[in-house]
Amino acid sequence: MKLYGKYFVMHLKSVMEYKTSFLLTCISQFFVSFNIFLGIYFMFQRFSKVEGFTYPEVLLSFGITLMEFTLAEAFARGFDTFGSIINHGEFDRILARPRGIILQVLGSRIEFTRIGRLLQAIVVFAYGLAVSDVRWTPWKVFSILLMLLGGTVVFSGLFLIYASVCFFTIEGLEFMNIFTDGAREYGKYPVSIYGKRVLQLCTFVVPYALIQYYPLLYLLDRGKPSYSLLPLAACLFIIPCLLLWRAGVRHYTSSGS
């Protein structure tokens, strides 16, 4: 943990060398996701509800998914850009150092420019909170924290899968983006609106529903209290991802490329 802190400070120092570039990227990140927000806004100019969810409720869903994705992207950036880490021989260097491999990959890239998008997510979320009529209890606040945790873990797991694929193909596969960037796009609406099949897929295969739809139902007093704990179950998703990663590392050390 102390080592990760060191990495964190190093990235912060590096970023501060290029203040203007940093600021501009942050602003552009803000506006890119602002687009998605506009999409939702105009949609609800036409319709008052989507599959039983009102405008503020969708904003809550969008805000949370965006936060989860953004946190994962900022901190698991090393896995997201793993192709370049391998190509530049950085991974050899990582193996030649006496520390955990995953910790070093996480430490090698931290994307502070995602603050712009995180800010956007927080604003949207706060606005959703203000206009919706969610009755707040301490447990609900806690369940939001669980959602953030579970969501960050699930998205990090997806990045980890992406990175593991790089061991075999070197370049990484663009189709993986469906699961990461795609999920960010579609995650603005509660997954149930895409139909039962998608909901099942998002519950048992890639557990998006466990970090978004079900806990959201609980927040809106439409679901059981036990739904609030589902993000913890979503964290189990990381286990197969880690197994795949280990297989990838083993492949790398036996093929050297």
Partner 1 sequence: MITLTHVCKTYKVSKRDAGFSSALKALFHREYERISALDDVSFTISDGEMVGYIGPNGAGKSSTIKILSGILVPDAGTCLVNGLIPWKNRIEHVKNIGVVFGQRTQLWWDVPILDSFELLKEIYQISTPLYRQNLEQLTEMLDLSALLKTPARQLSLGQRMRCELAGSLLHSPKILFLDEPTIGLDAVSKLAVRDFILKLNAEKKTTVILTTHDMQDIEALTSRIILIGKGQILLDGHIHQIKEGFDSTEEGLASFYKSHHI
Contacts with partner 1 by CB under 8 A lie at: 2-3, 6-7, 10, 13-14, 17-18, 88-90, 92-93, 95-99, 104, 253-257
Distance from CA of residue 75 to its chain's centroid? 9
Q: Which is nearer to partner 1, 38 or 95 (CB)?
A: 95
Closest CA to 111 of 154, 151, 156: 156
Distance from CA of residue 213 to its chain's centroid? 15
Pairwise CA distance, residues 131 & 124, whole Å: 11
Shortest spacing between CB 160 and partner 1, in angstroms: 20
Shortest spacing between CB 93 and partner 1, in angstroms: 6
Shortest spacing between CB 150 and partner 1, in angstroms: 30
Q: Which is nearer to partner 1, 13 or 46 (CB)?
A: 13
Which residues share a beta bridge with 53?
50
Q: Which is nearer to partner 1, 54 or 113 (CB)?
A: 113
Q: Which are the contacts of 215, defined by CB distance < 8 A and separation ≥ 6?
A: 143, 144, 146, 147, 223, 227, 228, 230, 231
Shortest spacing between CB 236 and partner 1, in angstroms: 27
Shortest spacing between CB 253 and partner 1, in angstroms: 5
Q: Which is nearer to partner 1, 90 or 185 (CB)?
A: 90
Shortest spacing between CB 90 and partner 1, in angstroms: 8
Q: Which is nearer to partner 1, 3 or 32 (CB)?
A: 3
* Runs of H (alpha helix) within 109-229: 115-131, 138-169, 177-186, 196-204, 208-211, 213-219
Cβ-contact 139, 38 below 8 angstroms: no
Q: Which is nearer to partner 1, 32 or 95 (CB)?
A: 95
Shortest spacing between CB 141 and partner 1, in angstroms: 35
Cβ-contact 59, 125 below 8 angstroms: yes
Give the position of tokens 């960037």: 181
Phi/psi region, residue 195 (left: phi>0; alpha: psi -120 to 50; beta: rest), is left
Q: Which is nearer to partner 1, 14 or 200 (CB)?
A: 14
